[in-house]
Amino acid sequence: MKIITDSKRLPRPFLMVIATIGWALVLHLSWRVLTDSWDRAEFALDALAGQIPELDPFNDRYTAHPYQTLAHTVAGVVFAVLGPLQFMSPIRRRFPLAHRISGRIFLPFGIISGVAALIMGLSFPVWGFGYNQVITTAWSAFMIFAFIYAYMLVRNRKFLLHREWMMRGFATGLAVSVFRAISEEILEPLGYNFDDRWTIVMLISLPITLGATEFWIRVTRLRKSVGASV
CB atoms within 10 A of CB 197: 20
Q: Is residue 225 part of a domain?
A: no
The total domain count for the chain is: 1
Q: Is residue 169 part of a domain?
A: yes
Range of the domain at 88: 12-219
Q: Is residue 90 part of a domain?
A: yes
> What's the whole-model pTM score?
0.86
Q: Which of residues 51 and 201 earns the better pLDDT score?
A: 201
Query: What is the reported pLDDT for 223?
Result: 55
Q: Is residue 38 part of a domain?
A: yes
Q: Is residue 7 part of a domain?
A: no
DSSP notation for 1-45: ----TT--SS-HHHHHHHHHHHHHHHHHHHHHHHHHHHHHHHHHH
Out of 15-29, 40-54, 90-104, 144-158, least confident range: 40-54
Query: What is the reported pLDDT for 230?
Result: 37
pLDDT, tens digit (0-9, with 9 covering 90-100), for 80-111: 999 999 998 888 889 989 989 999 999 999 99
Residue type, 167: M
